[in-house]
Structure 1
């Protein structure tokens, strides 16, 4: 039995090390508070505890009476759904919560993205408040910036794919990176790709496209 397994078994019996006590006790207190504002902050607190290396589901659960443990699990599932919705990935997630039901997480993710209120027991939790609280307070903001950049990059690639073939996109990026063309590539770029790029750079075309999509 590893030390981690032993610690988890001990936590299930009520023992908590001082290093983990504050974070996991706080999560348990949040569950027991039954206050909307605290439940809406749960994804933020869970993420920060995970990033600090202090998160222990068994220890937090051991702080709660049986009837409250289901709400701890439910709030964790909502938190995982929020992370998925925001495109944020954590190295500790699979290790700690890999056994949590993927279908239920996906279901909550869909509700969050639709802006639907989440009914958690007697409380209604607002998706926008979950997102706002998390984005405002999460200490690992670099992860969020990376996720936002990745989403932006995905959007750009999707837009380029609507206009250029894979080979044309390859040559376009080669031009942007100022890499040398072969004679054939240079001729093809001038004859085909440059004309498309020039059209895309036209301000009047941008205005017409925005009006058409309005």
Structure 2
């Protein structure tokens, strides 16, 4: 039951992607992830860390505060450093990554980070506290998460662009004219009446909009508004 509860909470941190929870719940969930000692869950730690940190919900010291055993506190640090090494290996730059790395000043922890980098760059499985972490599975898990995130972002941008286009068309064309403009753009068949109206009215506006000099003057005018 405890594991099922943990998995449900991890769903909010990238397993799969859902909305993040409250800050306290996020840090507690990450602490429980560390305490689970389950390698397959640990392999997904970079996903949970990136997702929660990007949303400003991860606090290293608060997460550490939920851990009592010194070994768990150490594991948290090792997993964070492993995650940072993964991001660097994949060429990802997060605004919070350097600040997080700066928390680890001990030489042995910095050496652990360098070993992580070497293992990740050479696709060599890595030992963490006596267990073996599959570098390949870590990369696959994170790349799947990153692709989903990027696809979601692309969808949002597409929707935003579509809304902007819809608004702009509404400023220039009447509803009927806009409908014909889009139908023509999509190569949809027009009725005889629609063709005549398009040629008589809409086409003239399209030519005006496509005029480069008009576009240049409009841009110049906008600079003074």
Report the TM-score range of the alignment, normalised by the length of the smaller protein: 0.5 to 0.7
Matching of residue 53 in structure 1 with residue 56 in structure 2: yes
Match of 1:90 in 2: 94
Larger Rg: 2
Q: Distance in 2 between matches of 1:141 and 1:93?
A: 19
- Note the 1:60-99 alignment, pairs <5 A: 60-65=63-68, 66-99=70-103
Give the 3-state SS of the residue equivalent to 1:124 in structure 2. Answer: strand
| Contact persistence 1:23–1:54 (CA under 8 A) | yes
TM-score (norm 2): 0.52
TM-score (norm 1): 0.54
Partner deviation per Cα, 1:163-206 (whole Å, 9 max, x = no partner):
xxxxxxxxxxxxxxxxxxxxxxxxxxxxxxxxxxxxxxxxxxxx
- Note the 1:129-208 alignment, pairs <5 A: 129-138=137-146, 140-141=149-150
Give the 3-state SS of the residue equivalent to 1:115 in structure 2. Answer: coil
| Structure 1 position 115, deviation (Å) | 1.6
Give the 3-state SS of the residue equivalent to 1:119 in structure 2. Answer: strand
Match of 2:115 in 1: 107
Q: 1:28 aligns with which of 27, 31, 36?
A: 31
Task: Please provide the CA RMSD for this pair.
Answer: 2.1
Q: Distance in 2 between matches of 1:110 and 1:95?
A: 22
How many pairs are equivalent? 126
Structure 2, unmatched stretches of 5+, are 1-20, 155-225
| Contact persistence 1:28–1:60 (CA under 8 A) | yes
Partner deviation per Cα, 1:145-166 (whole Å, 9 max, x = no partner):
9xxxxxxxxxxxxxxxxxxxxx
Q: Distance in 2 between matches of 1:39 and 1:130?
A: 9
Structure 1, unmatched stretches of 5+, are 1-17, 146-214
| Contact persistence 1:30–1:39 (CA under 8 A) | yes
